[in-house]
Amino acid sequence: MGRGFALAMLECRLRVHHDGNVQSGCATGIGYIAVGDLFLTDIRAYREKQLENSGLQPIFPAWGMPTRELARSMIKSGVRAKLTCIDSKLLAPKFVGREFNEQLLSDLPPEIDPCGENGEFPFVYAGPMFRHELPVEVGEIVSRDHFVFADLTLAQNKVNPD
């Protein structure tokens, strides 16, 4: 699995300020920050602007990847995720909380990006990039404006003590 696969699943709300976090990252030799954006040029420009003069250079390892192929590759590699936020103007609320799998991909309308670039945001809880699966279950579902959110909670009986 390429390093961009996991990044593509994470919706990174990047707000870099010139504070101690950026300074300490740069002081320890960190020079780059990987972002999982795929094709939204306005979002890419925003992230690049936010990182200007921060000492960190953004890299976009998944940029331009065909998202249907990418989604299938992620599932095949063992990535497990749940949709935690959907834009109800684009996708029916019944999709929130669903498992990111082949069945979900089959059920998505053709105009919906399978990697969530247009308003449906998955939360990755397991995969080959994690040491242990994060045992989650869907909790409360809340609608706010035209977004529908599924809270995830730790499954109490399945928490790995490591």
67-93 pLDDT, tens per residue? 889 899 999 999 999 999 999 998 999
Res 37 pLDDT > 90: no
Count of CA atoms in the C-beta half-sphere (13 A) of 112: 20
CA distance 112 to 114: 6
Reading phi first (left if > 0) and then psi (alpha if -120 to 50, else beta), residue 78 is in left
Give 133's contacts (C-beta < 8 A, 6+ positions apart).
Answer: 80, 125, 126, 160
**pTM: predicted TM-score of the whole model, two decimal places:** 0.67
CA distance 119 to 90: 7
